[in-house]
Amino acid sequence: MMAPMRLSHLCELIQLTLQDQFVAQQFWVMADISNHSYYSQRGFHYFDLVETTEKNHRNRGSIVAKLAGVAWREGAARIKAFERETGQVFGNDLQVLVQVSVDYHPVYGLKLTLLDIDARFTLGLLEQKKQATIRALLQEYPDYIREQEGRLQTFNQELFLGEVVQRIAVVSSRTAAGYEDFLHSLQNNAFGYQFDIHPFYATVQGENNAGELATVFSAIEARASAEEKDFDAVILIRGGGAATDLLIFDQFEVAAAVACCPFPVFTGIGHQKNETITDLVAHSSFKTPTKVAEFIIERNRSFDIRLQQAHQTVKQLAKQVLSDQAAGLQEARLSISTRTKDRLFQQQQALAEAVRQLRRQPAVYFDNHRLVLQLAHAQLIGHTRQLLKTREKDLEHLLRLFRLASPEKILARGFALIKLNGQPMADASAIKENDQLQILLAGTQIDALVKQKTPYYGDPFNV
């Protein structure tokens, strides 16, 4: 049995052995980052380098090797350059090719010191994984995802997007700055539009959280089913920071959930370079959460402008119809009066002539013509009554048209009457910014302040 030794002596032997073996040597090592921590005040990174068995498209594998790693100031500077070049945060679940030296300390143990990191390796590897995930999506979801002219075509992209986007499900983390930007843009829009927003919180970074993020879309569908009311759109938001970890949005589970979602999905995940797979399969993708909000407001504004133009068109048409019907009614009154007088005069003349004839004829001839006269008199009365009934129906029809075209009826159909200083406005050129408008709806008056005027050249009849 060997003589016992102190632990420090054993550690010294280990240190000398490792120094003899690895002194002045540097190695390029492929591994995954795990247990990463960054101490901003000192500028140091601490992490584990991990090797796993081959991962499938669901990012699962078993650990076969693991060593602690550290990046001091020089290594941290290389990491910062890596993040700028790749657009990816150096952190957990990222597979890298790093140059390291082997170091041992009796207290802190064996560590690999990061000296450099190959950005091209990571970019190439990420692109390979991305293409493998796309192939898996095409294979497992052929009814929802297909490739057409070099682009992904999905079920979600083909969903109808309503003219007005108001009932919105938002998928984001509770603390994401992009979520606050999105809410602020919607809630403080210049037109006073109101939105029904339903937040669904989830972790939106880290490959291992892909399953959790994907289940949120099932929760959204369940909520819509329970409330028996669909969402106009689902907004997937991430924002904040100059460099963003977007790996979760290239994961199979997240992309599949978005592509199969029964409501249009908008992505605003805060990146300026490459599109993620989630962007490619979503209904619409935007660079930032604020851009998503601006699109929604502009879409609602376009519908609002068309509605206002339709209101003006209906108002003008109603005035023209009223004017035309009033003229027609007056003409009909004059025509009825004139024709009635003429017909009575003709009948009176015929009656007088008949009386003169009767006075010259025998009693039998008188009796015969009396019957003819009575028949003519009855026909005259019947014709006159029928004519009056016809004209009365015409008048009733015109009156119904007047009532249907009345301002009260128009307002009851959902249109509005806009007044400036108590006067109805038919032309927007008289309205200026900061004017106080009165908007009359059915049973309600709304006072509004003009913040902005925007020209619109759409089709006024396309309501």
| Strand pairing class (109-117; 63-71) | parallel
The CATH class that applies to domain 141-287 reads alpha beta
**Which tens digit of pLDDT belongs to each residue from 195-254?**
999 999 998 887 778 999 999 999 999 999 999 999 999 999 986 543 446 888 999 999
When the pLDDT of each residue in the chain is averaged and rounded to a whole number, the result is 86
Confirm whether pTM is higher than 0.75.
no
**Residue 233's pLDDT is what?**
97
* Direct distance between the N- and C-terminal alpha carbons of the chain, in angstroms, rounded to an integer: 97
**Which tens digit of pLDDT belongs to each residue from 293-321?**
999 999 999 999 999 999 998 989 888 88
Residue ranges in 261-406 assigned as alpha helix (H): 277-281, 289-360, 363-404
Cβ neighbors of 157 (< 8 A, separation 6 or more) are: 281, 282, 283
**Residue 60's pLDDT is what?**
62
254/152 Cα distance (integer angstroms): 15
The tally of CA atoms less than 13 A away on the side-chain side of residue 241 is: 15
- Fold adopted by 7-125: OB fold (Dihydrolipoamide Acetyltransferase, E2P) (2.40.50)
To the nearest 5 percent, what fractions of the chain are helix, strand and coil?
50, 20, 30
Domain boundaries, the chain: 7-125, 141-287, 303-406
63/85 Cα distance (integer angstroms): 29
* DSSP per position, 111-131: EEEEEEE-HHHHHHHHHHHHH
Cβ neighbors of 416 (< 8 A, separation 6 or more) are: 308, 311, 439, 440, 441
